[in-house]
Amino acid sequence: MRLLSLRQEVCIWSDKCAGHISRTQVHLTAEFYRVAAILYLYNTYPGAAPSLERPGSPMSPKAITSISALVRQAFMLLDRMDVCASPWPLFIVACNVKEDRDRIEIMRLFDEGSKERRIGNYDVVMGLVKAIWNRVDLNSDQAREGSARVSDWREFVDVRMGIPPFA
């Protein structure tokens, strides 16, 4: 569980050709990736996720964060970013949202990102996210209990529609 207690340091080496680099944006993006990595860990290996049934974990309380708290943290980071130009962490967050208002915000962020980067990846990833949301919604009994999860997002990839860049 080293991922939960890692200390992140971002080094930025300016270059004459690089132009202006916003240190704040770089740090926000790095933290967004870290939060998404923890969400991905919890989704891939549910035994790693904090549980109410496992009190008294040896990990520090600060390090152990619930999925919903990580999603909230991701949205706070996104609110501080100029634009989200990273499809993978946004996809991971999208797979973990439950509320319609959060889904609407995710769709807005994907739309904004696709306009900024002008690449087709965002459309492919958004199609994948919608397929996952549909599956979760179809499992309405589990969704009401908050336990509806997609075990492997790759089962939703339609190669005719394109493959996400992180697949």
pLDDT for the residue numbered 138: 83
Q: What token pair was written down for 69?
A: 């708290």
Residue 10 lies in a domain: yes
Which candidate, 108, 122, 46, places its Cα nearest to that of 75? Answer: 108
pLDDT at residue 128, rounded to an integer: 87
Residue 77 lies in a domain: yes
Kind and range of the H or E element at 91? helix 87-94
User: What pLDDT is attached to residue 92?
Assistant: 94
Is residue 76 included in any domain, yes or no? yes
pLDDT score of 97: 92
- Smallest Cα–Cα separation from 103: which of 134, 79, 70? 134
Task: Give the residue from 52, 61, 43 showing the smallest Cα distance to 4.
Answer: 61
Q: Percentages helix, strand, coil for the chain, rounded to the nearest 5?
A: 60, 0, 40
On whether the CB atoms of residues 128 and 164 are closer than 8 A, the answer is: yes
* pTM assigned to the model: 0.75
Spatial contact of 162 and 120, defined as CB atoms under 8 Å apart: yes
Ordered mean pLDDT values, 10 residues apiece, the chain (167 residues): 64 62 85 93 80 46 72 96 88 92 95 77 85 83 57 64 61
Looking at the domain assignment, is residue 20 inside a domain?
A: yes
Phi, psi angles (nearest 5°) of residue 98: -120, -30
DSSP string, 137-158: HHSHHHHHHT----S-GGGG--
**What is the span of the domain harbouring residue 128?**
2-156
Tally the domains of the chain. 1
Contacts of 148 (CB under 8 A, 6+ apart): 136, 139, 142
With tokens 């908050």, the residue in question is 146
Whole-number pLDDT of residue 55: 46
Q: Is 163 a domain residue?
A: no
The tokens for 56 are 């008294």
Is 74 part of any domain? yes
Residue 29 is inside which H or E element, if any? helix 23-44
Confirm whether 93 is domain-assigned: yes
Residue carrying the six token digits 């002008």: 118
Please check whether residue 167 lies inside any domain of the structure: no
